[in-house]
Structure 1
Amino acid sequence: MNLFVETYGRQPDGVWASPGRVNLIGEHTDYNEGFVLPFALHQRTVVAAGRRAAPGWTVRSRLTGETVHIGRSDLSPGAVKGWAAYVAGVLWALVDAGFAIPDCDFAVESDVPLGAGLSSSHSFECAVLTAVEGLGDFSIPGIEAAKLVQRTENVYVGAATGLMDQTASLLCTAGHALFFDCRSLEVEQVPLDLASDGLALLVLNTNTPHTHADGEYAERRRSCERGAEILGVRALRDIGVADLPEALAKINDDVVRRRVRHVVTENARVQDAVALFRAGRVREAGPLLTASHASMRDDFEITVAQVDTAVEAALRAGAYGSRMTGGGFGGCIIALTDTEKAGSTARAVEDAFAAKGFAAPEWFTAVPSAGATRLL
């Protein structure tokens, strides 16, 4: 990796990469112990790393041009701020879990779009984790590694994330989506060969800053917890679609009622999509994507004008289905189209954005790819 050589004047001991991810369906079901269906993107964060004689760690980012030193005294939550906190947090989580980790230098670059809901931060953390594993000559089973990255986010960085993103970045395989049960932590690799079906999954970045809008994400979570409490269940995972009318009748708060309806119906949509994928009927999952978006827009209220406009334009252009992907309040949409229509669908969204005075979107077609791996 040239950046490592330019920064440290020597070759790295190894190079590791971890992908971003797109969630096909299953938004905000993870912390309700439900089901999700992500796959890994071909866009990834690459970390070149080498052992160092001096104590501590340094990390150089091509994106910011900064080199940050992390000492042993920085391995406590909140000690390092900004982008380097993702590195310090992984190191802290490993040490806190009892691993002896080597002192080393890192150089990082990435083509995962930032702030777009495609898990750029988890891609970064998982790449650092696999690099430290490689240099430290130890191995952590996939789900346990995902839990360490989640602990990094929850405790060191201070973000209340679930377990989906890390699991996808670490465990996905090429040509598959990952059916992940967020309660049992069981995973299933579900075949997803879009190209052989003549399909493309368009990922379109609305360039609306993807943020959980501070208290908005926490409010959704509290509403779901309140709903589970009212219904007397451990989590909304325990309410089925058939039980929904009776369950909703027990909830007086209209906001909580709508939040519960989204999670329960979204959980069912994930399972329906998996059944279609297993049967090789991917096109037929399109309406599930569109229904998911409507539920996020109307019941969970996490979309914004740009993503709604993008979804509507993609559907008018002939997409089989389209939805926002990610935590909400901006970010990306996905659209399932015929391969030859991906470009025209993207241009239809561009035209719709121009007509409304929105910033121009960016797009690419997603390829279900492998999770974290060593490159060199």
Structure 2
Amino acid sequence: MTASTAAREQFAASYGREPEGIWSAPGRVNLIGEHTDYNEGYVLPFAIQHRTCAAVALNGTDDIRVESTFSDSQVVAHLSDLDGLFPTPAGETPAVPEWSAYVLGIAWALRMLRPDAPAPGVDIAIASDVPVGAGLSSSAAIEGSVASALNELWDLGLDPVTLAQVGRKAENEAVGAPTGIMDQMASMLGQPDAATFLDCRTLETRSIPTGFTAAHLELLVIDTRVSHAHSTGGYRERRESCERGAELLGIRALRDAGIDDLPRAAELMDDVTFRRVRHILTENQRVLDTVDALTAQGPRAIGDLLVASHASMRDDFEISAVELDVAVDTALAAGAIGARMTGGGFGGSAIALVEHDAVERVTDAVERAFADAGFTAPHIFPVSPSAGPRRDA
């Protein structure tokens, strides 16, 4: 059953009628540029074919009612009560179940942005085929689908970049997860066969053809099944280290420093802060180098950059996990052109760029390595750059 069908059936079962429409938005894979987004740097993600669907209809009340296929409970909130639910104080969990905070947070953020616009009550049912906890931004897919639906049903006329900013506000302030804007921009601006080069300071974007299909390459996602959560401590601690590093360098954000500043950073910082900063500065450069390589030479030229990115995340930013390292090392040994962990870290997924005829070999090798190590079997599947939000029905 597709996510669209599941959302429609959930809506009909819960609310006893058909939805007015079904809107969907994709998850994303980050090709390179990890933790650079909240440092106002550069990222190169792309939307994937896996999507979250929101079946939605106006309900004639002042309430938002939310159901999903991944929870047995219905969450109901009066529109005027959203300001009492959010924002979520730093370090605390939302006042509603976290999955519903993404949905209700979008409604709250839209009302904050357009307080004078009519915002009638809605019924919403959510279904998704974006793997949760895999680092593929299932959260941004929820935000994008709901934001697209409410943008249309509430007749707000907001553009995709503004809706991405609404999604970030919901995630940061309603859910309490201190993420940057990469996920939302990647989901909202996705294009087939291309990645989105994003300047996270200016929000300027450029579509960069990946060339995977023409080069007979596949990008495999290796979901380690080790779950992670951005609202917990590890992610927040890394962000605080970056902010401390920028303060010591006397700059607004680490975006304003470059590799030439590393010797001065080493003198000013303790070892841990320095290594966190070194990852960001070198990762920003790797994003720029990857864009240049894709443009001038094609996708086979980016393998070493992917490998260097993983080493930096493993050693300097310390956000990898043993399962991710095994996935990357095994994929490379089995012939992958490049591989790295992707997403916020502490679990989730790795990606491997492989020749089309090497997919089975790499997949088998990683599955054997996980079995030999006693890990949970990974979920391995190809992803391709895909389109952003749309109305499906």
Band the TM-score falls in, shorter-chain normalisation? over 0.9
Structure 2 equivalent of residue 349 of structure 1: 366
Q: Deviations over 1:128-168 (max 9, x none)?
A: 11111121122212222111111111111111111111111
Q: Deviations over 1:291-327 (max 9, x none)?
A: 0000000000111110001100000000011000000
Q: Deviations over 1:24-74 (max 9, x none)?
A: 000011111110000001000001111112331212211223322222244
Structure 2 equivalent of residue 235 of structure 1: 253
Q: Deviations over 1:253-306 (max 9, x none)?
A: 111111111111000000000111122511110110000000000000111110
Structure 2 equivalent of residue 160 of structure 1: 178
Structure 1 equivalent of residue 37 of structure 2: 30
1:215 aligns with 2:233: yes
Distance 1:63 1:317 in 2: 36
Out of 249, 273, 283, the residue aligned to residue 256 of structure 1 is: 273
- Structure 1 residues 252 and 107, CA, compared in 2 at 3 Å: closer, same or farther? closer
Question: How large is the RMSD of aligned CA atoms in angstroms?
Answer: 1.5
Out of 5, 10, 14, the residue aligned to residue 3 of structure 1 is: 10
- Structure 1 residues 33 and 349, CA, compared in 2 at 3 Å: closer, same or farther? same
Out of 258, 269, 272, the residue aligned to residue 289 of structure 2 is: 272
Segments of 5+ residues of structure 2 without an aligned counterpart are 1-7, 87-93
Structure 1 equivalent of residue 336 of structure 2: 319
- Structure 1 residues 325 and 289, CA, compared in 2 at 3 Å: closer, same or farther? same
- Structure 1 residues 158 and 249, CA, compared in 2 at 3 Å: closer, same or farther? closer
Distance 2:122 2:230 in 1: 33
* Deviation of 1:213 (Å): 7.7
Distance 2:262 2:108 in 1: 46
1:75 aligns with 2:82: yes
The letter for the 2-side match of 1:21 is R
Structure 2 equivalent of residue 60 of structure 1: 67
**SS of residue matched to 2:329:** helix
The letter for the 2-side match of 1:91 is A
The letter for the 2-side match of 1:217 is Y
Distance 1:175 1:160 in 2: 30
* Deviation of 1:6 (Å): 2.6
- When normalised by structure 2's length, the TM-score is 0.92
The letter for the 2-side match of 1:2 is E
- Structure 1 residues 352 and 135, CA, compared in 2 at 3 Å: closer, same or farther? same
Structure 1 equivalent of residue 51 of structure 2: 44
Q: Is the 8 A contact 1:190 1:274 kept in 2?
A: yes
Q: Is the 8 A contact 1:230 1:250 kept in 2?
A: no
**SS of residue matched to 1:209:** coil
1:135 aligns with 2:153: yes
Distance 2:308 2:140 in 1: 27
Q: How many residues align?
A: 375
Out of 98, 102, 125, the residue aligned to residue 86 of structure 1 is: 102
Distance 1:221 1:25 in 2: 18
The letter for the 1-side match of 2:303 is G
Q: Is the 8 A contact 1:74 1:80 kept in 2?
A: no
- When normalised by structure 1's length, the TM-score is 0.96
- Structure 1 residues 262 and 339, CA, compared in 2 at 3 Å: closer, same or farther? same
Out of 166, 172, 188, the residue aligned to residue 206 of structure 2 is: 188
Identity %: 50
The letter for the 2-side match of 1:16 is W
1:20 aligns with 2:27: yes
Moved more, 66-75 or 151-160: 66-75
Distance 1:249 1:331 in 2: 31
The letter for the 2-side match of 1:259 is R
Moved more, 102-111 or 38-47: 102-111
* Deviation of 1:247 (Å): 2.6
Q: Is the 8 A contact 2:40 2:199 kept in 1?
A: yes
The letter for the 2-side match of 1:10 is R
The letter for the 2-side match of 1:175 is D
1:170 aligns with 2:188: yes
Distance 1:112 1:267 in 2: 27
Distance 1:151 1:213 in 2: 14
Q: Is the 8 A contact 2:245 2:269 kept in 1?
A: no
- Structure 1 residues 249 and 137, CA, compared in 2 at 3 Å: closer, same or farther? closer
Structure 1 equivalent of residue 3 of structure 2: none
Segments of 5+ residues of structure 1 without an aligned counterpart are none
Distance 2:359 2:119 in 1: 45
Q: Is the 8 A contact 2:341 2:349 kept in 1?
A: yes
The letter for the 1-side match of 2:44 is L
Distance 1:311 1:240 in 2: 27
**SS of residue matched to 1:358:** coil
**SS of residue matched to 2:227:** coil
Distance 2:160 2:305 in 1: 29
- Structure 1 residues 213 and 85, CA, compared in 2 at 3 Å: closer, same or farther? closer
Q: Is the 8 A contact 1:213 1:329 kept in 2?
A: no
Distance 1:253 1:371 in 2: 42
